Structure 1
C-alpha cells in the first residue's frame, strides 16, 4: 500500500471529525438543521418587534431587521466557535487513543462546522429578506465577507486559548459562558454605537467584538461607515490569543492526550 503523507492524514482526520460533529449535533434532533435557524430568527423577530413598538423611526434609511440579522448571525458564529472549542477536548477525548487524531483537529473540525453552517444561514436569511421585500442591498460585499471571516478567525484564536485553559481549569469554562451574556448586549448588535453618548462609545470600543460589528454594519449599509473601526486593535486581539493558545497547546498536548 502507498504510504499516506502527514498532510493527507490530517485532512482525512479533520473530515472524519467534521462528519462526526454533524451527526452528533444534528442527527439526533427531530428538526435537525432547522435548530440552527431558530435561535437567530426568533431573536431577530423579537427585537425587531420591540424596536418597532418603542422607536419605529429610530434608524431612518436602514432596514432594522437586516441590521439585526447582519450582526447577530456573525455574533452567534463567533460565540459558538468559542464555546464549542472549549468543549472539544472533553467531548472527543475517547478518540485520542488513535495516534492520528490530535486534540487540535477537534477544534478545527468544530470551527469548520460553525463557519460553514453560519454562512449557509446568511444565505437563507438573504433569501428570506428578498422574499419579504426587505432592503438587503449591500454596499461592500467584500468588506462584509472579510469581517465575517476575520471574526471567525478571532473566535478560533480565543477558542484555542480557552480550550487549553478550560481543560485544566473546569471553572474557567463556566466563567467564559457567563461572560457571553453581558457581551451580547455590549457588542453593538441592537444599536449603532455612534448614536450613544461619547462616554458610552469610549467604553464600548474597548470591546473588540464592537469593532467587528461596526466593520460589518459600516460595509453593509450606505447610511453607516467604518471610521471608528480600529483594525490594528482587531489584529492584536486576533494574533495574541492565537499565539499564546498555540504555545500553551504545544506544551500541553501530551497531557491532554494522556488524561
Structure 2
C-alpha cells in the first residue's frame, strides 16, 4: 500500500479522483451530444454503471501484469515467491477498486437527483467476474510482457479502444445485429451488462453469459500460471 499509493502527493485520494474525474468528463461530454442516456435519465449514473466494473478489471489486470517487475527486489529473497507478488498486487488493487466503486456510486446517488433501487446480486457477481478476468489476463500478460517486451506495446494499442467495445458508453442492445454477433465474444461487455442489470430494474439483458467470462478468465489464468512457473527466472533475469 505504501509503495503503490504512498509515493504520490494525495496518495489514496487519486484512487478516487481519477475515476470520478473520468465519469464527470464523460457525463458532461455526452450530455452535449445526446438528450438522454441509453438507460435512465442520469448520464453520470449510466456511465458509472459501466465504467466502475470495467475499472475493477482494468486496475487488477494492470497491477498483476507488472507484479514481477514491481516486486523484483523482494523476489530476490527465497522466502518471497512469484505467487506472493501476484497475490499481493491482486488483493490490494481489487480491494481498492471495490472501495472506490462503493464511494463513487454512493456519492452519485447521494448528491444527484437520481433515485434507483439497486439489486446487489448482479452487481456483486459482475464485480467478482471482473476481478477474476483481470487476474487471468494480468497473469498471462505478465509472462508475455516479461519474455517479449514488445508485447506490452502491442497490447497497449489493442487496449486503447477497449472502453468503447467494453460497453461502457453504450449498451449491447444499441448495436446492429452484425456488431452484436462479433462483440458477444468479448467478455467485457457481459460484465458491464450484468452490473447494469443490478442498477436498472427495468433493464434485463438477455445476451449475458457468465460461462463465457469464466472461460476467458480460467483459460488465461491457467496458461499464465503454467508459463509463469516455467519462465519466472528468465523474466527476473532480464
TM range (shorter): over 0.9
2: CA distance, partners of 1:83 / 1:60: 30
CA contact (8 A) 1:68 1:189 kept: yes
Q: 2:170 aligns with which of 188, 191, 207?
A: 191
Q: 1:216 aligns with which of 195, 203, 222?
A: 195
User: What does residue range 101-112 of structure 1 map to in structure 2 within 5 Å?
Assistant: 101-112=80-91
1:50-80 Cα deviation digits (max 9, x unpaired): 2221212343635331121122122122112
Aligned to 1:7: none
Aligned to 2:205: 226
CA contact (8 A) 2:123 2:194 kept: yes
What TM-score comes out, normalization by structure 2 length? 0.92
Q: 1:117 aligns with which of 96, 102, 120?
A: 96
Unaligned runs of 5+ in 2: none
Aligned to 1:207: 186
The structural deviation recorded for 1:122 is: 1.6
Aligned to 2:36: 57
The structural deviation recorded for 1:168 is: 0.9
What TM-score comes out, normalization by structure 1 length? 0.85
Unaligned runs of 5+ in 1: 1-21
2: CA distance, partners of 1:122 / 1:188: 17
Structure 1 residues 132, 168: CA separation in 2 closer, same or farther (over 3 Å shift)? same
Structure 1 residues 60, 146: CA separation in 2 closer, same or farther (over 3 Å shift)? closer
Aligned to 2:76: 97
Aligned to 1:148: 127
Task: Name the SS of the counterpart of 1:32 in structure 2.
Answer: coil
2: CA distance, partners of 1:50 / 1:73: 18
1: CA distance, partners of 2:158 / 2:39: 32
1:147-198 Cα deviation digits (max 9, x unpaired): 1011101110111111111111111112222221111211110111102221
Q: Does 1:246 align with 2:231?
A: no
Aligned to 1:31: 10
Q: 1:69 aligns with which of 39, 43, 48?
A: 48
